[in-house]
Amino acid sequence: MTEHGPLSLHVPEPEVRPGGTPDFSNVPIPKAGSVPRPEVDVDPKEIRDLAYSIIRVLNREGEAVGPWAGTLTDEELLQGLRDMMTLRTFDARMLMAQRQGKTSFYMQHMGEEAVSCAFRKALAPGDMNFPTYRQAGLLIAGGYPMVDMMNQIFSNERDPLKGRQLPVMYSSKEHGFFSISGNLTTQYIQAVGWAMASAIRNDTRIAAGWVGDGATAESDFHAALVFASTYTAPVVLNIVNNQWAISTFQGIARGGSGTFAARGLGFGIPALRVDGNDYLAVHAVAKWAVERARRNLGPTLIEYVTYRVGAHSTSDDPSAYRPKEESSAWPLGDPVLRLKNHLIKRGAWSEERHKQAEAEILDAVIAAQKEAESHGTLHAGGKPSVRDMFEGVYAEMPPHLRRQRQEAGV
């Protein structure tokens, strides 16, 4: 034969599987406050190491430290805590509603609440998000009515999308929330196109694209980076690295070969990596990137390092592929607890007020759910009309659809 041995295929594996002891000792976590904050008009070549570090503001003691601290007032932070708690409570109730058969499907955000909630606060009215199915915090923090979200989830007679969409695939132009598609990463390049349009029209609005770690492997991720860079589009390109794409760990999308953020560098896009469970850090980094885009300095890529605590969806059982205790071993902790502790440290919050807020939020979510359920759930009560099924395929119904609608008896 030859002087070489046979070739072998490398298939990455997570360090730990069910039954094993979770171990994140290989995940380097820089100290809070240790990463510098460059000017927004910095030459991207000078901040390449930001793609390999993690920007963090909250330290172990719950103090806000370093150059990225100080973008939010007490009041704004309290609102941020309330937004995250609301999203978590909303998730818990909808998860239960799915188990009760009131809807067919749900996807929760457990552990990732800070990312979308804090990012939303860095945007201005008129900006447009191109979210995935795991950024409902953009709606909650943007003041979109929970009842309308639930109406969509229940596909009832008040469903803003007329029962046409799978639950959680919301759409709200008014709230800067582009229609969610089931097809992964398609929206990433669309965000870039939207931003290009804003630039073509000499507007001042910017776009934000969203993708998960697993979906960065889709070809539209690459297309988005090329277009964003070529045309210096005013877009913030977000990657939520929650370590898991259903059952596949981020190594299958070739995480660990550098970082996801670092993929921006090859395109000349400045890239930052941030503690996704640190509300203050997420907001500060988002604000930086939004300002860059707004000042026509071009796109920014941000990787949020976080952990998907919950199941991928209500159709998933994570105990089949990862240790049950893995989320509690996650070194960046829980975003709600960390902000809560920080606010208590600041003297702006207390355990008592937190408990009280939890109760208030639960009441509000239950009230919204009651109202939504009064308009129907998937299998009970009011539902969108069958006629709605035929509408909206085109601006005007063509003859063949009209014939089919008549055939269906509506």
Partner 1 sequence: MARMTMIEAIRSAMDVSMARDDTVVVFGEDVGYFGGVFRCTQGLQQKYGKTRCFDAPISESGIVGAAIGMAAYGLRPCVEVQFADYVYPAYDQIVSEAARLRYRSNGEFTCPIVVRMPTGGGIFGGQTHSQSPEALFTHVSGLKVVVPSNPYDAKGLLIASIEDPDPVIFLEPKRLYNGPFDGHHERPVTPWSKHPLGEVPDGHFVVPLGKASVRREGSDLTILAYGTMVYVAEAAAEETGIDAEIIDLRTLLPLDLDTIVASVKKTGRCVIVHEATLTSGFGAELAALVQQYCFYNLEGPIARVTGWDTPYPHAQEWEYFPGPARLGQAMRETMEA
**Residues interacting with partner 1, by CB under 8 A?**
128, 130, 160-162, 164-165, 169, 171-173, 178-179, 181-183, 186, 188-201, 207, 219-220, 222-224, 226-227, 230, 392-395, 398-400
Contact 56, 281 (CB under 8 A): yes
Distance in Å, CB of 222 to partner 1, minimum? 8
Pairing status of strand 248-249 against strand 271-275: unpaired
CA 218 to chain centre: 17
Task: Tell me whether residue 79 or residue 232 sits nearer to partner 1 (CB atom).
Answer: 232
Contact 67, 272 (CB under 8 A): no
Q: Where are the beta strands (DSSP E) in 199-355?
A: 207-212, 235-241, 244-245, 248-249, 271-275, 300-305
Residue type, 329: A
Task: Tell me whether residue 116 or residue 229 sits nearer to partner 1 (CB atom).
Answer: 229
At 187, list the tokens.
Answer: 């929206």
Task: Tell me whether residue 252 or residue 389 sits nearer to partner 1 (CB atom).
Answer: 389
Contact 19, 44 (CB under 8 A): no
Distance in Å, CB of 157 to partner 1, minimum? 13
At 51, list the tokens.
Answer: 């793609």
Q: How many CA atoms lie within 13 A of 46 on its CB side?
A: 8
Task: Tell me whether residue 166 or residue 348 sits nearer to partner 1 (CB atom).
Answer: 166
Cα 90 from Cα 376, distance rounded (Å): 18
Distance in Å, CB of 204 to partner 1, minimum? 13
Pairing status of strand 300-305 against strand 235-241: parallel
Task: Tell me whether residue 296 or residue 328 sits nearer to partner 1 (CB atom).
Answer: 296
Distance in Å, CB of 314 to partner 1, minimum? 21
| Tally: H helices and E strands in the chain | 12, 7
- 3 state SS of 41: coil
Task: Tell me whether residue 136 or residue 161 sits nearer to partner 1 (CB atom).
Answer: 161
Distance in Å, CB of 386 to partner 1, minimum? 15
CA angle 237, 211, 334 (to 5 degrees): 100
Distance in Å, CB of 19 to partner 1, minimum? 38
Distance in Å, CB of 407 to partner 1, minimum? 12
Task: Tell me whether residue 18 or residue 392 sits nearer to partner 1 (CB atom).
Answer: 392
- The helix or strand, by DSSP H or E, that contains position 129, with its residue range, turns out to be strand 128-130
